[in-house]
Amino acid sequence: MSKGGARILVVDDEVEIMRALQRSLIAHGYEVFAAGSGEEALEEIAHHRPDLILLDLGLPGMSGLEVCRQVRAQSNLPIIVLSVKDAEREKVQALDLGADDYVSKPFGMNEVLARVRVALRHAAQVQSGTEPTFTAGPLKVDFAQRLVTVNGQDVKLTPTEYDLLKALIKNNGKIMTRQMLLSQVWGTGYGSEAHYLHVYIGQLRRKIEPDPAHPTFIHTISGVGYRFGNDT
């Protein structure tokens, strides 16, 4: 454990990975706790009240998915899941359960640190309240007036395009699965209509992206969904 900045709980049963994460996080000023199982993780959360969890999905006993489910049922504590590279289905399940992001093993420490910074910034924004206007480079969104401009020029969005953009911006830096976006924008009865999402994402990019073929704002997370904004 270290004394300092945000409190981070690392949950992983692989000792070498846990120690590497601890060393790097401590070196960057974070206060770090560790757990080797899902059951231990829940105890640590109750005792230490961390600001963020780095959660391995492949845990002995209680799974990482169950930990995610139990945590999200009680709080909005940021969760970044750690999973093996090809476990796409588990990643999507974790994100649908409320995880904020994921990092695939093997991972670079700089990537983990970047994800941590983004998740903590997003959590701070949610706690302090979202500003009535949002600006990212040439893009500006006035939520009070439902006004979208790029380089000072009005952009005409359909109601669905606007709702989709708003959902992505409200979760700036967080991966949104296709299921999450369909439910938030079209309603809970929509779950398998991924083609709706693909079409509207394309339309939205053509209206707000400087180069729709190389998106600056709306990033595709292959096999999972979309993320608004940069990772750093």
Q: Directed axis angle between helix 15-27 and helix 109-128, to 10°?
A: 60
Instruction: Give DSSP secondary structure letters for 177-200.
Output: EHHHHHHHHT-TT-SS-HHHHHHH
Q: Mean pLDDT across the stretch 149-163?
A: 91
Asked if 231 contacts 118 with a C-beta cutoff of 8 angstroms, the reply is yes
Task: Return mean pLDDT, the chain.
Answer: 87
Asked if 79 contacts 72 with a C-beta cutoff of 8 angstroms, the reply is yes
Quote the pLDDT of residue 192. Answer: 62
Tokens of 14: 């692989």
Is residue 231 over pLDDT 50? no
pLDDT band for position 122 (50/70/90)?
confident
Q: Which amino acid is at 20?
A: A
Higher pLDDT, 232 or 188: 188
Number of CB atoms found within 10 A of residue 90's CB: 18
Question: Tell me: the pLDDT tens digits for 55-93?
Answer: 999 898 899 999 999 998 888 889 999 988 667 888 899
Instruction: Give DSSP secondary structure letters for 112-155.
Output: HHHHHHHHHHHHHHHHH---SEEEETTEEEETTTTEEEETTEE-
For residue 31, report the phi and psi dihedrals to the nearest 5 degrees. Answer: -95, 125
- For the whole model, what pTM was predicted? 0.69
- For the chain, domains (ranges, CATH) are 7-128 (3.40.50.2300), 133-228 (1.10.10.10)
Quote the pLDDT of residue 194. Answer: 75
Asked if 85 contacts 104 with a C-beta cutoff of 8 angstroms, the reply is yes
Higher pLDDT, 119 or 21: 21
Higher pLDDT, 151 or 5: 151
Question: Tell me: the pLDDT tens digits for 161-212?
Answer: 998 998 999 888 888 998 889 888 887 666 566 788 999 999 999 999 999 9
Lowest model confidence (mean pLDDT) among 12-16, 19-23, 37-41, 159-163: 159-163
First to last CA, the chain: 26
